[in-house]
Chains A and B, each alone.
Chain A
Amino acid sequence: MDYSAAMGRSGVFLLRALLGLSFSLKGMQLLVTQLYKIGVLSLIIIIVSGLFIGMVLGLQGYNILVDYGSEQAVGQMVALTLVRELGPVVTALLFAGRAGSALTAEIGLMKATEQLTSMEMMGVDPMKRVIAPRFWAGFISMPLLAIIFSAVGIFGGMLVSVDWLGVFEGAFWSNMQNAVEFEGDILNGLIKAVVFGAVCTWIAVFQGYDLIPTSEGISIATTKTVVYSSLSVLGLDFLLTAVMFGSI
């Protein structure tokens, strides 16, 4: 009962957040500020994680493939793994932990200290002023972060396999280019990232807006954000993979 009521509330909430974006100068400024907080400040963790995951993939891939004499295929392995799966999924998990929890806590604290209520009393809709810019910023940032993650990861894989382990660079790239399809792999990966971004931000912002305004409520909601986001991302990833790649 409670659960389906919360689902209903979150649905209405999503609609109002989506429609709440204002394209005025002021609205855009708010959006840019949130893009900075959500997107730019997540860049470091995304770039560092992407680099290391790409390097590990390169190393592991090389060690497996070298036994079959096909270490040239390490490029396509790294690229496909990143673009199809790890890019969107790991970025979404990091995003939920880094930006999602911060969003929940921030909005929750604004609610607990009556900032949202006082905004309403001043005749300013918090959906427009607070929620919508944050929602859209998350929605825009997440795919960009996932793409950057994949690109940096592929660079990391190249660093290890080409510069360190001595895979021939031409073969590394040409095998990759033969195997990776723009529509089939990169666009599908991008669609995943867009879906994950929307879901993670939705969960984070809603948990913040709907929480019980006490310190305990904030801590519970922050935990919920990370847990629900991670589970939804992994579950949705399976569904999307089945739809996108399952029939091939």
Chain B
Amino acid sequence: MYQRSVELAVGVFMLLGMGALVFLALQVSGLSMDSQKDSYKVYAQFDDLGGLSVRGRVSLAGVTIGKISAISLDRESYSALVEMDIYKEVDNLTTDSVASIQTAGLLGDKYVAISVGADEEFLADGDTIFDTQSALNLEKLIGAFASGQVDI
């Protein structure tokens, strides 16, 4: 009888542990079946990342459509090469889309915002977005403002 209740308690303990893991996975990290969506890769080159980091968001009209999968330096052009995973279902980004680095709020995370153009053709896996805007550099901006060279 004693062994029986011990077994029961251990079983409950195991279930509790598993339940907690499921809770952490689903509720805390927001892991869901569709988060491992199929995606395709698109590249963009920026002069200044301004704090953009891997795993950052890629958004279109404020909706997340992918994430940044890698950042590296392009040795030839001395600019940053950003590799983005864009969800498969968003397959109609035009080839003349503009990628710009933006900030969520004043001090929030950096993310890449994409705005589409009017081209008839769409970006495919491995394509590069040529029209980019680098991060708004707050210090440069203040510096320019102080020396009276404001042109925005």
Contacts and interface: CB of A to CB of B under 8 A. Distances in A.
B77 interface: no
A248 B70 CA distance: 11
A39 interface: yes
Contacts of B55: 181, 184
Contacts of A152: 20
Contacts of B9: 36, 40
A144 B7 contact: no
A-side interface mostly: helix
Interface string A31-54: 011011001100100000000000
A40 B10 contact: yes
A32 B25 contact: no
A154 B20 CA distance: 11
A148 B14 CA distance: 10
Contact of B29 (A36, A141, A148, A182): A182
Interface in B46-62: 53-55
Interface residues of A, number: 35
Contacts of B144: none
B143 interface: no
B13 interface: yes
A173 interface: yes
Nearest to B12: A40
Interface in A144-187: 144-145, 147-148, 150-152, 154, 173-174, 176-178, 180-182, 184-186
Interface string B1-32: 00100110110111011011101110111110
Contact of A248 (B6, B54, B105): B54
Nearest to B5: A36
Nearest to A177: B30
A174 B21 CA distance: 18
A151 B9 CA distance: 19
Interface of A: 29, 32-33, 35-36, 39-40, 43, 68, 70, 79, 83, 141, 143-145, 147-148, 150-152, 154, 173-174, 176-178, 180-182, 184-186, 190, 248
